[in-house]
């Protein structure tokens, strides 16, 4: 049986191979996603993000256990834009995976950047679709941090959970970094630590309703699993809210439109820059700029003019 057929049967080994293909941008990957795409749309995709060390991995682990109790199949993608490509699971994830080793209803996989962050967001989308087609009910995307790339990756999710903790220093930092805008649900984890109540009230005070949804703040102790059922309940409520929105169709259309434009932009930039980089004209302009016969700005504009002519404008 070929990889797509095995993925559709829920074979985790095939899922792993399929994700490697999209990660490597293998020729087969495009055909694979094409085959699987009609079988997607069933899963609920949850993004989990937040500053380093707030307990995301611990929490996701407990979420898996709770979802399994509720009879859901779970796929986890641990995406780390800052770490180099490893060609498979990171050590930590291998250890985590061992805990769920005998359970075919769980699959954990890490993805790392090869210095190509736009590509990482795209690979994340494809990996989500592979999980979805393989019959996972819940897909969790776990990312570190709150930068530009992370928010691009988190946009793939249907719901975003932001994990904070007491003693983070200054919650205002989180506000500045734009983290408060992306959360549909907030978690103050490590509620066993001192200052937890303060963080809870400060966080709640910063969140306002958006389109009739007031993001809740859930208190958890990921180490013990306290608060995890409440988190899953909040996620279910959010899903129901989202599915009941009258503009749902339009939102989904906008998401697809953004994805298509993003993909075209990426391909276009890559193709054009690669060709440009190989062209003698480009090398000449580099030399001329180096020799101060022209300046970088003029040189860039010269190239751009040629490109526009090249694409027929």
215 binds ligand GTP (CB under 6 A): no
Task: Give dist(CA 187, CA 195) in Å, integer.
Answer: 14
* Smallest separation, CB 68 to ligand GTP (Å): 19
* Residue 57 interacting with ligand GTP (CB under 6 A): yes
Chain residue at closest Cβ approach to Mg ion: 57
Q: Which member of 54, 113, 151, 203 binds ligand GTP (CB under 6 A)?
A: 54
Q: Is 71 left (phi over 0), alpha (psi -120 to 50) or beta?
A: left
Considering the rule CB under 6 A, would residue 91 count as an interface residue with ligand GTP? no
User: Which H or E element spans position 219?
Assistant: strand 217-219
Closer residue to Mg ion in complex, CB, 57/203? 57
- Please, which residues bridge with residue 48 across strands? 142, 161
Size of the site for Mg ion (CB under 5 A): 2
CB-nearer residue toward ligand GTP: 57 or 203: 57
Is residue 144 a contact point for ligand GTP (CB under 6 A)?
yes
Given the complex with ligand GTP, which of 195 and 296 has the nearer CB atom?
195
Task: Give the DSSP H/E element, type plus range, for residue 187.
Answer: strand 185-188
Q: Contact region for ligand GTP (CB under 6 A) — 54-62, 148-156, 254-262, 289-297?
A: 54-62
Q: CA 50, 52, 55, 61: dihedral to nearest 10 degrees?
A: 80
- Residue 52 or 278: the one with the smaller Cβ distance to ligand GTP is 52
- The site partner of 127 among Mg ion, ligand GTP, none (C-beta below 5 to 8 Å per kind) is none
Q: What span, in angstroms and rounded, lies between the C-alpha atoms of 302 and 280?
A: 14
217-219 sheet: strands from edge to edge:
106-113, 74-84, 138-143, 44-49, 159-164, 185-188, 217-219
Which residues is 50 bridged to in the sheet?
Answer: 145
DSSP 283-309: HHHHHHHHTTSS-HHHHHHHHHHHHHH
Q: Which of 57, 160, 189, 220 binds Mg ion (CB under 5 A)?
A: 57
- Distance between CA atoms of 92 and 115, rounded to whole angstroms? 21
Q: Least separation, in Å, of the C-beta of 209 and ligand GTP?
A: 27
| Nearest distance from C-beta of residue 72 to ligand GTP, angstroms | 21
Residues from 192 through 211 that contact ligand GTP (CB under 6 A): 192-193
For the CB of residue 51, give the shortest distance to Mg ion in the complex, in Å. Answer: 11
Is 49 a binder of Mg ion (CB under 5 A)? no
Q: What long-range pairs does 241-244 form, CB within 8 A, spacing at least 24? A: 241/212, 241/213, 242/158, 242/159
Cβ proximity to Mg ion: between 56 and 136 the closer is: 56
Which partner, Mg ion, ligand GTP, none, binds residue 109 by CB below 5 to 8 Å per kind? none
Contact status, residue 64 vs residue 137, Cβ threshold 8 Å: no
Choose the binding region for ligand GTP from 9-17, 34-42, 198-206, 219-227 (rule: CB under 6 A): 219-227
Nearer to Mg ion, 56 or 73 (CB): 56
Nearest to 60 by CA among 116, 109, 113: 109
Say whether residue 189 binds ligand GTP (CB under 6 A): yes
User: Contact between 222 and ligand GTP (CB under 6 A)?
Assistant: yes
Q: Cα–Cα distance between 44 and 34 in angstroms, integer?
A: 20
Residues of this chain that bind Mg ion (CB under 5 A): 56-57
């Amino acid at each position: 049986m070929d990889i797509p057929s095995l993925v559709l049967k829920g074979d985790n080994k095939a899922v792993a191979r399929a994700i490697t293909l999209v990660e490597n941008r293998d020729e087969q990957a495009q055909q694979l996603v094409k085959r699987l795409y009609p079988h997607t749309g069933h899963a609920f995709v949850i993004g989990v993000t937040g500053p380093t060390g707030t307990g995301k991995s611990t929490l996701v682990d407990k979420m898996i256990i709770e979802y399994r109790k509720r009879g859901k199949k779970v796929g986890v993608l641990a995406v780390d834009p800052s770490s180099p490509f490893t060609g498979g699971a990171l050590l930590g994830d291998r250890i985590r995976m061992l805990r769920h080793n005998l359970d075919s209803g769980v699959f954990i996989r890490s993805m790392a950047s090869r210095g190509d962050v736009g590509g990482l967001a795209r690979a994340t989308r494809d990996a989500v679709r592979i999980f979805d087609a393989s019959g996972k009910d819940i897909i969790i995307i776990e990312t570190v941090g709150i930068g530009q790339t992370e928010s691009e990756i988190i946009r793939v999710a249907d719901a975003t959970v932001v994990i904070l903790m007491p003693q983070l220093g200054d919650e205002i930092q989180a506000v500045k970094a734009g983290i408060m805008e992306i959360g549909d649900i907030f978690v103050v984890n490590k509620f066993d630590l001192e200052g937890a109540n303060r963080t809870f009230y400060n966080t709640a005070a910063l969140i306002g309703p958006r389109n009739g949804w007031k993001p809740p703040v859930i208190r958890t102790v990921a180490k013990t699993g306290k608060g995890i059922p409440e988190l899953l309940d909040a996620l279910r409520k959010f899903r129901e809210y989202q599915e009941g929105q009258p503009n749902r169709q339009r939102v989904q259309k906008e998401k697809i439109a953004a994805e298509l434009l993003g993909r075209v932009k990426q391909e276009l930039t890559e193709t054009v820059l690669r060709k440009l980089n190989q062209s003698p004209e480009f090398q000449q302009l580099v030399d001329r700029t180096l020799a101060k016969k022209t300046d970088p700005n003029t040189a860039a504009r010269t190239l751009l003019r040629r490109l526009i002519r090249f694409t027929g404008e």
